[in-house]
Structure 1
Amino acid sequence: MLKARFTRHRYQLHTHPTYVVALITQGCERVRIGNETVVAPTGTVLLVNPEIWHDGEAGAEQGWGYRTFYPSASLMGAIAAELGQDRAPLFSQAIVDDADLVQAVAAAHQSSTSGDVTSAETSMLIALRKLILRHGDWGGRRREAVESFGSKNRLRVYEQLIEDRLTSDLDLQRLAEAAGVTRFQVIRDFKKVLGLTPAAFIRDRRLRRADLLIRQGSNLADAAFAAGFSDQSHLSRTFRAAHGMTPGMFRRAGTLPSSSAAD
């Protein structure tokens, strides 16, 4: 969970393995989600499905404040199973204007700081159940760009190479050779399937690796090296641009129980 207020900070494009459920409590946030840009004002809930590229910046002069949950796909799937569904939902609407849901999400986030574990768990499950019941979509609609068969298959090759060689120099030529295409085709494939550059994808995967290592207890210098960053400062700059806080702040928060950040 995260509680934050920003006026000048701008998130770079990034992904989460989890859902994002963000209650906007002040101002408004402008967010690119996949190929769509939306504006979330105060009193609405912003929703991002797992693995979907998104950024975030102030949508008004006063910036924005929010309280955010990052529920895992397994948790959402378990709640959905109790409701008779065979898989976790997707959310077709990025912005939800639902007063009852807003109240439930606010209560759950507030309860998380109370010290009463049972009450916090109960409030959270009530909020997520209400979210899934009212706004879950099992029709399979997604926000990704239309994908051609060849580009999608080559993207799997690029992804595997990047995961295997995160600490190496990863340039367009190496990606092109792995898929048997030109460097220009690599750029087109990433743009067609994900709507971003190969460099942005590599940066995101390095951040994901560093995030995992920090959660597991690695010191920041070791996490930076093992994730392919040139040094700890490089990791810190990139981490803050994507997450709104430094790796040190993230670690001190206890790897995402209730934490706060401001610009």
Structure 2
Amino acid sequence: MDKEQATIYRAEKLENLLVFQARYQRFKFGRHTHEDFALGIMEHGVQKFYCRGEARFATPGSLISVNPDEIHDGMSADQSEFHYKVIYLPVELLQNIGNEMVAPRSFHTFKNPVTNDPEVAAGLTSLFALLEGESTDLLEMQTLLFGLLALMLERHGTERRTLITGNAIHTPIQKACTFIDDMVKEEISLDDIAAAAGLSRYHFLRLFRDEKGISPWSYLLHKRLQLARTSIRLGTSLTDAALDAGFSDQSHMSRRFKATYGITPGQYRQAYLS
């Protein structure tokens, strides 16, 4: 790949899991989340990214492991080039492996955003090499993937018992997020959201950023991008996906999409058409 380039594709032999690979230097991801787990490896350079309230540094050979809905970004730590590869893992897949091989009846997550484990890193590098090969046996790839995920959860995973309660506490910020989720396609104001939270605008802004790590506008943008991604995966045209998600036009969505995910909506769409 040339400098400042990213590609995304489906691993057809591995249940169509998405694989992302990038080479960046000046590009900086906007803060965002993913619906899936992300497990990747740094191949070159040092990536700095915000996750779980603090800066993280991924050096060559280290693993990047981000849980669903964890806010993060990404950039070069020293303005030099960095390369990495990531595979996205549906929640159900990781939970099934964790419940079968680690701890049953629990919700499994990755413990740390950056992990150093040469054995897992070597296995993940081998998996990416197999995915890029032309004639790879299905059983070989499945065996490697499932073994790696089980090892990752056993060594670097956490599990918590899921509790079901009928008396959930709705905090002001939770109320605000629910309001934004319900109004994601509409034009809403700070006054509207603060009123839904029952707070003054200033108090709401401070609490929201402290709790979520992003601004209300960034949260709304992320929800719109998630909605657009879903529409694109279902085969909706880029123009209709943009309008259906609340963007003014396709160009607006495309700029925000590339700044957030490092790829264009067209690249994302192509991954599901190929």
- Which TM-score applies when normalising by structure 1? 0.87
* 2:118 counterpart letter in structure 1: A
Determine helix, strand or coil for the equivalent of 2:232: helix
How far the C-alpha of 1:199 sits from its partner, in A, is 0.7
* 1:180 counterpart letter in structure 2: G
- The residue number in structure 2 matching 1:12 is 30
Task: Report 1 or 2 for greater relative contact order, CA contacts < 8 Å, sequence distance ≥ 6.
Answer: 1
- Say which structure is richer in strand: 2
Correspondence list, 1:47-196, <5 A: 47-85=65-103, 86-114=105-133, 116-138=137-159, 153-196=171-214
Tell me the alpha carbon deviations over residues 132-155 of structure 1, each in whole angstroms, 9 at most, x when there is no partner: 111112269xxxxxxxx98x6122
* 2:65 counterpart letter in structure 1: L
Q: Distance in 2 between matches of 1:6 and 1:183?
A: 38
1:25 aligns with 2:14: no
Determine helix, strand or coil for the equivalent of 2:252: helix
Check conservation: 1:4, 1:65, Cα contact below 8 A: yes
Check conservation: 1:78, 1:88, Cα contact below 8 A: no
* 2:110 counterpart letter in structure 1: F
Q: Distance in 2 between matches of 1:218 and 1:174?
A: 31
How far the C-alpha of 1:245 sits from its partner, in A, is 0.7
How far the C-alpha of 1:188 sits from its partner, in A, is 2.2
Structure 1 unaligned blocks of 5 or more: 141-148, 258-263
Residues 1:156 and 1:61: Cα distance change in structure 2 (over 3 Å): closer
Determine helix, strand or coil for the equivalent of 1:88: strand
Determine helix, strand or coil for the equivalent of 1:67: strand
Q: Distance in 1 between matches of 2:43 and 2:107?
A: 27
Moved more, 174-183 or 190-199: 174-183
Q: Distance in 2 between matches of 1:206 and 1:236?
A: 12
Out of 228, 234, 239, the position equivalent to 1:216 is: 234
Q: Distance in 1 between matches of 2:58 and 2:119?
A: 17
Number of aligned pairs? 247
Determine helix, strand or coil for the equivalent of 2:188: coil
How far the C-alpha of 1:61 sits from its partner, in A, is 3.6
Q: Distance in 2 between matches of 1:98 and 1:181?
A: 45
Determine helix, strand or coil for the equivalent of 1:170: coil
Out of 229, 233, 238, the position equivalent to 2:251 is: 233
Check conservation: 2:124, 2:148, Cα contact below 8 A: yes
Determine helix, strand or coil for the equivalent of 1:137: strand
* 1:247 counterpart letter in structure 2: P
Check conservation: 2:102, 2:150, Cα contact below 8 A: no
| Identical amino acids, percent of aligned pairs | 28
Tell me the alpha carbon deviations over residues 65-114 of structure 1, each in whole angstroms, 9 at most, x when there is no partner: 11101112211110111124122322232221111000111112222233
| 4+ residue segments displaced more than 4 Å | none
* 1:197 counterpart letter in structure 2: S
Q: Distance in 2 between matches of 1:245 and 1:25?
A: 19
- The residue number in structure 2 matching 1:203 is 221
Q: Distance in 1 between matches of 2:199 and 2:254?
A: 34
Correspondence list, 1:251-262, <5 A: 251-254=269-272
Q: Distance in 2 between matches of 1:84 and 1:102?
A: 20
Tell me the alpha carbon deviations over residues 197-235 of structure 1, each in whole angstroms, 9 at most, x when there is no partner: 101111111111111111111111111111111111111
How far the C-alpha of 1:181 sits from its partner, in A, is 2.3
Check conservation: 2:49, 2:56, Cα contact below 8 A: yes
Q: Distance in 2 between matches of 1:117 and 1:237?
A: 37
